[in-house]
Amino acid sequence: MNVKVNDNVLVIAGKDKGVQGKVLATSPKANTVTVEGVRIQKKHEKARKANETSKIVEVPGPIDASNVMVVCPVCGKATRVKHSEVDGKKARVCKFCNAVLDKAYSKKAAAKAAAAAEEAPKKRTRKRAAKAAAPAEESVENAENK
């Protein structure tokens, strides 16, 4: 199963086709996922304490994992998941833009890209000569005015 908890997914089949939501729970044995706002079911809750009231609560139900596609956070498209090696470990990757879908690996990959872009830090130089020249000019002007 290529879908994990907290992934953003797009429902591609069924009554709620076209709805995007966050995965709340997965069940790999049953091959189902529970998506926020999809397949809403009404559940009756009985009051358990004296000061509570009984109520009817709407709860999202499970749908088959084959009816959802992961939405890439970079390109925003619903994509089939591709697996590739990132830092020597297998990670989920977008087929369109090759962005890492696993949040733990995406932070490491972004940090490596930033480090490669920087390469060597810039040398800091102080501008002492410019500060020393400015007061000297002011003293010459003051002498002329007196």
Residue 131 has pLDDT above 60, yes or no: no
What lies within 8 Å, CB to CB, of 142 at 6+ separation is none
pLDDT value of position 86 = 85
pLDDT value of position 89 = 87
Domain that holds residue 78: 8-46+53-145
**CATH code assigned at 87:** 2.30.30.30
Q: Does residue 68 lie within any of the structural domains?
A: yes
3-class state of residue 109 by DSSP: helix
Whole-angstrom Cα distance, residue 8 to residue 33? 12
pLDDT value of position 109 = 63
93 burial type by CB count under 10 A (0-12 exposed, 13-18 middle, 19+ buried):
buried
pLDDT value of position 136 = 54
Q: Residues 67-122: pLDDT tens digits?
A: 999 999 999 999 999 999 988 889 999 999 989 998 776 666 667 666 666 665 56
Q: Does residue 138 lie within any of the structural domains?
A: yes
Task: Tally the domains of the chain.
Answer: 1
Higher pLDDT, 145 or 124: 124
pLDDT value of position 40 = 96
pLDDT band at 24 (very low <50, low <70, confident <90, very high): very high
pLDDT value of position 88 = 86
What lies within 8 Å, CB to CB, of 134 at 6+ separation is none
Q: Does residue 117 lie within any of the structural domains?
A: yes
Residue 22 has pLDDT above 80, yes or no: yes
For the beta carbon of residue 10, count every other beta carbon within 10 angstroms.
18
Q: Does residue 93 lie within any of the structural domains?
A: yes
Q: Residues 25-43: pLDDT tens digits?
A: 999 999 999 999 999 999 9
In the numeric block, the tokens 């297998």 are attached to: 90
Q: Does residue 38 lie within any of the structural domains?
A: yes
Whole-angstrom Cα distance, residue 88 to residue 77? 26
DSSP-assigned states of every residue in 86-101: ETTEEEEEETTT--B-
Q: Secondary structure of the chain: what % helix, strand, coil (to 5)? A: 25, 35, 40
| Cross-strand bridge partners of residue 92 | 83
Q: Does residue 72 lie within any of the structural domains?
A: yes
Q: Does residue 1 lie within any of the structural domains?
A: no
